[in-house]
Amino acid sequence: MDSTRQIVIFVLLVLAAIFYADFIRWIRPPKVPLGQHAQRPGTVESPAPAASGTAAAPSSAGPAAGPAAGPVASAAPSYAAAGEGEETDTTAPEPLMPPSTSASPPRTIEADTDLYEATFTAKGARLLNFRLKRYRETVRKDSPLYDVVVQGARLPLGLIISRGDKIYADTALDYTTDAPARVEVGPDGESASVTFTADTREGLRLTKRFTFRNGSYVYGVDAEVSGAAADVKAVGFTMSQPLTERAPEQGYRDYPALQADIDGKVLNEYQKQLQKGVAPVTGEIAFAGFGDRYFLSAFIPKAPAKGELLMAYGGNEARAEMLFAGALKVSTAVYMGPKQLNLLEAASPNLSKAINFGWFGVLAIVFVRALQVFHTVVPNYGWDIIVLTIAVRVATLPASIKAQRSALRMQRLAPQVEKIRAKFKDDSTQLNREMMELYKRNHVNPLGGCLPTAIQFPILYGLYEALLNSIELRHAPFMLWIRDLSAPDCLPISWLPKMPGIDCHGLPVVVLLMGASTFLQQWMMPKAGDPNQQKMMMWMPIMFTVLFIALPAGLSLYYFASNVLGIIQQFFLNREFKQYTPVAAA
């Protein structure tokens, strides 16, 4: 049937649109630039924390006054040797120079809260590490805490100023601070702060103050430029990081992007776009920074909020630079943490836009919230996915039954349709008239299955995006061999060859069950009249199986559970229509 063929083509086009971007990033990941450090980002050694009240804590300010004991010097080269062995970034801001150079290694300050450990260096008063206490790098129990900072040529949280026609950064400045080597945030809503100050050769004094609180991944950054600042046009902040794939051993492919929301317009700029060049954007900056699938590092400007965002790529990393014209004092919040919907919304109403839920984001958010509700009852996200599958199946049951009944009636009419076509093959007008009469006598609408089927596509896409981007599934176990629902499914069998696209020797059991159930469901459904179309439909389970090998196990589990429910539904509908006898043509 022509209408059936159109439905099949439409289905394939929708599926292609859903999976195309992820598939392309899987087969063509961004290349690591030549000269990239072989060391995994975030592994720069930080000093051992000094015990409170001991002599190990420095007592005087300044980079040379009492550096913390331990491997402090090893933390500096990753920053001081910016660009060593890498491509030169000619577009980066020029460094502000200190009045004199210090021979001593820069101090490091640790800020400890209930959710994270942050390590700052006095060189540029920037962030060395930001380790999340509730998340780990991999699913292994002995895996280190997840470090949000991806170190490149420059560390994040730099202060930049515009003077004349140039932009300058505090990259090379030796800041001083009176803070101890370790700052701990107190209970009961108390805050802790660290203040850094530095002077430049030009007579500027730069002050940066970081404020931390328990119970939140948001902390404050206040900066001020004073002294000989008459020719300073704008002040702002900068954040930078490489955009290459991070830690493939996590089990899933993850490519960060520069993300921002300016005047309500969301920007997601990946490495290739930034290398081609992205024009500056001016307006109300809701947030700006870097995010991947599960984590976000972003500025949330407070005062002022209206400014200019410069986006660039050079020296093997991307940069997001915010400048606020006419300001010498700037204040911003910084969110560094998981892309968990309720946490993002609590930090800022617009920050949830950093999760890319695709075309049907409203539906995806509904499914994420439903998953969270189910988890309060069943504390296992694998079973929560199955409960969500049942709920979606029940919600779409009337539409799916209507579509399936329409398809079954059309199948029963297929022999009579063929007779009419053979009888009136030379008279198209009479052919259409007879066909319509046949449908009318049997109360069949040839397009009756189209609308109910089309209604389910937004739900399918919304579910796909919800399960793909839910940080709740990251490192969440299900049962047996499934220890991470965000990673591809694989039952480890050491003597089997490595599976294509993933780092595992074994079998994708859930994916194979999903493929087998898809084949069974296709076999049980009404057959299309065109033999070629039938063959194409039977190839779809194989295509799905190959595609899902590299996708998260949570998605495979959802589609397998959905297929099982669909098979049960199709079984009872087929029994119902065994008694159905169509009215013959006149």
* 151-192 pLDDT per residue, tens: 887 889 999 999 988 999 999 999 999 999 999 988 777 889
Which two structure tokens, joined as six digits, stand for 35? 């000269």
What is the average pLDDT across 406-427?
76
Q: How confident is the model at residue 316 (pLDDT cuts 50, 70, 90)?
A: confident
Of 238-247, 419-428, 452-461, 559-568, minimum mean pLDDT range: 452-461
pLDDT given at position 204: 93
Do 147 and 130 meet the contact criterion of CB atoms below 8 Å apart?
yes
Q: Which residues pair with 564 in a beta bridge?
A: none
Query: In Å, how far are 82, 142, 237 from 221, measured between CA atoms?
Result: 24, 33, 10
What is the average pLDDT across 63-69?
38
- Comparing 558 with 581, the larger pLDDT belongs to 558
Q: What is the rounded CA–CA span in Å between residue 534 and residue 392? A: 28
Strand 158-163 vs strand 232-241: parallel, antiparallel, or unpaired? antiparallel
Q: What is the rounded CA–CA span in Å between residue 237 and residue 69? A: 30
- What does the DSSP 8-state code read for residue 424? T
pLDDT given at position 57: 37
Q: What is the rounded CA–CA span in Å between residue 73 and residue 75? A: 5
Of 120-129, 180-189, 297-306, 361-370, minimum mean pLDDT range: 180-189
R_g of the chain, CA atoms, integer Å: 30
Please indicate, yes or no, whether the overall pTM of this predicted structure exceeds 0.85: no
Highest mean pLDDT among 1-5, 11-15, 33-37, 257-261: 257-261
Q: Could you state, in order of their start, the residue ranges of all structural domains in the chain? A: 2-18+369-579, 31-87+105-356
Supply angle C-alpha 513, 517, 518, rounded to 5: 115
Q: Is the pLDDT of residue 120 over 70?
A: yes
Of 8-22, 43-57, 97-111, minimum mean pLDDT range: 43-57
Q: How confident is the model at residue 532 (pLDDT cuts 50, 70, 90)?
A: low
Strand 108-112 vs strand 182-184: parallel, antiparallel, or unpaired? parallel
Q: How confident is the model at residue 10 (pLDDT cuts 50, 70, 90)?
A: very low
pLDDT given at position 299: 96
Q: Is the pLDDT of residue 462 over 90?
A: no
What is the average pLDDT across 190-208?
93
Q: What is the rounded CA–CA span in Å between residue 392 and residue 455? A: 13
Three-state secondary-structure class, residue 502:
coil
What is the average pLDDT across 8-35?
45
Do 234 and 311 meet the contact criterion of CB atoms below 8 Å apart?
no
Which two structure tokens, joined as six digits, stand for 437? 């009469």
What is the average pLDDT across 133-144?
88
Tens digits of per-residue pLDDT, 214-259? Answer: 999 999 999 999 998 888 999 999 999 988 776 555 555 678 899 9
Q: Is the pLDDT of residue 430 over 70?
A: yes
What is the average pLDDT across 542-563?
86
Concatenating the DSSP letter of every residue in 539-582 gives: HHHHHHHHHHTTSBHHHHHHHHHHHHHHHHHHHHHHHHGGG--P
Task: Report long-range pairs for 29-35 (Cβ below 8 Å, ≥24 apart).
Answer: 29/245, 29/253, 29/255, 30/243, 30/244, 30/245, 30/255, 30/270, 30/271, 30/272, 31/244, 32/244, 33/86, 33/87, 33/244, 33/316, 34/87, 35/85, 35/86, 35/87, 35/316
- Comparing 303 with 428, the larger pLDDT belongs to 303
pLDDT given at position 17: 45
Nearest to 96 by CA among 12, 11, 174, 9: 174
Q: What is the rounded CA–CA span in Å between residue 46 and residue 107? A: 11
pLDDT given at position 65: 39
Q: How confident is the model at residue 393 (pLDDT cuts 50, 70, 90)?
A: confident
Mean pLDDT of the chain: 79
Query: In Å, how far are 59, 183, 185, 192, 405 from 112, measured between CA atoms?
Result: 19, 6, 6, 9, 62
Q: Is the pLDDT of residue 107 over 80?
A: yes
What is the average pLDDT across 295-324?
92
Amino acid, res. 257 = A
Of 17-26, 389-398, 478-487, minimum mean pLDDT range: 17-26
What is the average pLDDT across 11-25?
48
Q: Is the pLDDT of residue 340 over 60?
A: yes
pLDDT given at position 138: 85
Do 294 and 137 meet the contact criterion of CB atoms below 8 Å apart?
no
- Comparing 472 with 419, the larger pLDDT belongs to 472
Q: Is the pLDDT of residue 2 over 60?
A: no
**Which overall architecture, per CATH, does domain 31-87+105-356 show?**
Distorted Sandwich (2.70)
Of 65-79, 147-161, 480-494, minimum mean pLDDT range: 65-79
pLDDT given at position 578: 66
pLDDT given at position 439: 75
pLDDT given at position 323: 95
pLDDT given at position 529: 53
Q: How confident is the model at residue 131 (pLDDT cuts 50, 70, 90)?
A: very high
Q: Could you give the residue ranges of the DSSP H alpha helices within 28-154?
A: 72-75, 77-80
Q: How confident is the model at residue 539 (pLDDT cuts 50, 70, 90)?
A: confident
pLDDT given at position 86: 45
Concatenating the DSSP letter of every residue in 212-248 gives: EETT-SEEEEEEEEEES-TTEEEEEEEEEE--SPP-G
Q: Is the pLDDT of residue 7 over 70?
A: no
